């Protein structure tokens, strides 16, 4: 049973007695199941403030068990709020849970395939409209995870998404840079023992004239925080204004130990799954996927913060190597003067802290 109010008695025997009385009321008085006898009642999981734990109710064998399950929906029609929230579900065996999960997984995958097809059709429609408006007069680049196998790049056979990509390339006279002679590498996704080519870079003929080379980091030597490999493309594009100076941003790569992250992820998933099984909560495939996504996001976010040294959600930042004690003290004083200036009420006091702040700022810049 779910959402059954828990007893607040201190004595364990009194709690069991009160829980048994509540279950008896639900089964015999509310559902009118006569041929049922309660053999044992106990909660699953640890007690938490504000949470109602699932209640396992063992009944003697008989018709009453199945009758209670059939009539369980009638509780929604009750007038009292607490009884409306009560749910009843059978306690599945390990084999039954595996079969149920397998069935739910198949249904989920089929729904996802249908959803992917609808989404891909919408995306292609938007791309078609965009290409028509540009009329091949501007530079166009399309890149990302197309989730398609072309058949001649990567080990997989061609699939529906791959055919859509090829059709789009032919219709709009695009160039696939992955297949260009100046492209180094082929595999764009590598995870555990699987590899594929599903990330593509498409350009129109206007931009292809400026293309120099493309490289795919197949072995994840530069970046390995994702199952997808890093793609780098270089173009030599002349600026319209000869006086304009292009600004280039320094690119930094961060490597990490994927084995440690994988071990942490598996540990978290194992603990969460064991907790769900311990509480006897029936979990659908969509909820498992959300649980997986939550654990992946949590681990990668923490690792990313650790690598790029950004402050977020309570993580301590390591100072850059050029930060000395004197510089740190100067920054602290600047913050102090700026804070006092905002708090000051008189103009004279504001001018004083403004002067101190600017003096400290000039000293730091020098």
Q: What is the DSSP letter of 87?
A: B
pLDDT of 309 > 90? The answer is no
Q: What is the DSSP letter of 28?
A: I
pLDDT for the residue numbered 313: 45
Show the DSSP H helices in the chain as ranges: 12-24, 63-71, 81-84, 94-134, 160-171, 205-208, 258-279, 285-308, 325-343, 347-365
pLDDT of 161 > 70? The answer is yes
Residue 190 β-bridge partners: 195
pLDDT for the residue numbered 61: 64
> Contact 216/185 with Cβ under 8 angstroms?
yes
pLDDT for the residue numbered 312: 44
CA separation for the pair 128, 131 (Å, rounded): 5
> Contact 165/148 with Cβ under 8 angstroms?
yes
Same domain assignment for residues 65 and 143: no
- Which residue has 């997986």 as its token pair? 292
DSSP characters over 173-202:
T-EEGGGSTTEE----EEETTEEE--EEEE
pLDDT of 95 > 70? The answer is yes
Same domain assignment for residues 67 and 142: no
**How high is the mean pLDDT of the chain?**
80
Same domain assignment for residues 141 and 229: yes
CA separation for the pair 194, 305 (Å, rounded): 28
Percent of the chain at pLDDT exceeding 90: 19
Using the 3D structure, point to which of 40, 64, 84 is the last residue of a domain. 84
Average pLDDT over residues 287-311: 71
117 domain residue, yes or no:
no
Question: Where is average pLDDT lowest: 40-49, 318-327, 334-343?
Answer: 318-327
Angle at 249 between CA 248 and CA 252, to 5 degrees: 140
Question: Where is average pLDDT lowest: 97-106, 114-123, 189-198, 255-264?
Answer: 255-264
Same domain assignment for residues 145 and 213: yes
Same domain assignment for residues 231 and 277: no
39 domain residue, yes or no:
yes
Same domain assignment for residues 22 and 75: yes
110 domain residue, yes or no:
no
pLDDT of 200 > 90? The answer is yes
pLDDT of 315 > 60? The answer is no
DSSP characters over 227-258:
SBPPEEEEE----SSTT-----PPP------H
pLDDT of 149 > 80? The answer is yes
Average pLDDT over residues 2-22: 85
Split at pLDDT 50, 70, 90, the class of 136 is: low
Most confident stretch, 150-159, 276-285, 314-323? 150-159
Crossing angle of the two packed helices 285-308 and 258-279, in degrees rounded to 10: 150
pLDDT for the residue numbered 233: 94
CA separation for the pair 308, 298 (Å, rounded): 16
- Total Cβ atoms within 10 A of residue 26: 22
246 domain residue, yes or no:
no
303 domain residue, yes or no:
yes
Phi-psi region of 154 (alpha: psi -120 to 50; beta: other; left: phi over 0): left
pLDDT for the residue numbered 311: 45
Percent of the chain at pLDDT exceeding 70: 86
Question: Where is average pLDDT lowest: 54-68, 144-158, 195-209?
Answer: 54-68
Split at pLDDT 50, 70, 90, the class of 365 is: low
pLDDT of 57 > 70? The answer is yes
Closest CA relative to residue 225, chosen from 317, 308, 315, 311:
308
Same domain assignment for residues 20 and 80: yes
CATH number at residue 155: 3.60.10.10
91 domain residue, yes or no:
no
Same domain assignment for residues 154 and 227: yes
Split at pLDDT 50, 70, 90, the class of 252 is: low
Same domain assignment for residues 141 and 230: yes
> Contact 217/198 with Cβ under 8 angstroms?
no
Residue-range definition of the domain harbouring residue 192: 136-235
107 domain residue, yes or no:
no
pLDDT for the residue numbered 338: 80
Split at pLDDT 50, 70, 90, the class of 243 is: low
Report the domain count for the chain. Answer: 4
68: exposed, middle or buried (C-beta count within 10 Å: 0-12, 13-18, 19+)?
buried
Using the 3D structure, point to which of 43, 58, 84 is the last residue of a domain. 84
101 domain residue, yes or no:
no
Show the DSSP H helices in 34-93 as ranges: 63-71, 81-84
Average pLDDT over residues 22-45: 83
Split at pLDDT 50, 70, 90, the class of 175 is: very high
Average pLDDT over residues 311-329: 58
Average pLDDT over residues 183-196: 90
Query: What pTM does this model have?
Result: 0.43
Tokens coding 305:
């913060």
pLDDT of 35 > 70? The answer is yes
Using the 3D structure, point to which of 203, 220, 235 is the last residue of a domain. 235
pLDDT for the residue numbered 15: 85
């Amino acid at each position: 049973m779910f959402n059954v109010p828990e007893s607040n008695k201190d004595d364990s025997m009194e709690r069991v007695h009160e829980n048994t009385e509540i279950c008896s009321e639900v089964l015999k008085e509310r559902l009118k199941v006569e041929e049922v006898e309660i053999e044992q009642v106990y909660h699953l999981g640890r007690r938490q403030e504000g949470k109602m734990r699932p209640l396992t109710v063992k009944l003697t064998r008989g018709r009453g068990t199945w009758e209670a399950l059939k009539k369980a929906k009638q509780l929604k029609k009750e007038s009292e709020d607490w009884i409306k929230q009560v749910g009843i579900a059978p306690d599945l065996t390990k084999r039954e849970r595996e079969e149920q999960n397998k069935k739910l997984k198949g249904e989920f995958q089929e729904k996802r395939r249908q959803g992917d097809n609808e989404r891909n059709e919408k995306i292609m429609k938007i791309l078609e409209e965009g290409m028509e408006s540009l009329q091949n007069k501007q530079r166009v680049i399309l890149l990302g995870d197309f989730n398609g196998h072309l058949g001649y790049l990567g080990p997989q056979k061609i699939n529906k998404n791959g055919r859509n990509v090829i059709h789009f390339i032919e219709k709009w006279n695009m160039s696939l840079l992955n297949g260009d002679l100046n492209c180094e590498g082929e595999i764009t996704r590598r995870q555990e023992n699987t590899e594929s080519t599903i990330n593509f870079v498409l350009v129109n003929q206007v931009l292809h004239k400026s293309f120099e080379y493309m490289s795919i980091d197949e072995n994840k030597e530069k970046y390995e925080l994702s199952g997808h490999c890093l793609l780098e493309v270089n173009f030599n594009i002349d600026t319209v204004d000869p006086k304009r100076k292009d600004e280039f941003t320094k690119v930094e790569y961060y490597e990490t130990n994927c084995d440690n992250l994988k071990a942490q992820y598996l540990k978290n998933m194992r603990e969460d799954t064991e907790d769900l099984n311990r509480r006897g909560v029936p979990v659908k495939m969509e909820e498992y996927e959300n649980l997986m996504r939550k654990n992946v996001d949590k681990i990668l976010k923490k690792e990313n913060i650790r690598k790029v040294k950004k402050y977020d959600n309570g993580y301590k930042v390591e100072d850059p190597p050029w930060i000395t004690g004197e510089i740190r003290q100067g920054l602290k004083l600047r913050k102090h003067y700026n804070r006092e200036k905002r708090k000051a009420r008189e103009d004279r006091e504001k001018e004083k802290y403004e002067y101190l702040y600017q003096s400290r700022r000039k000293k730091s810049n020098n």
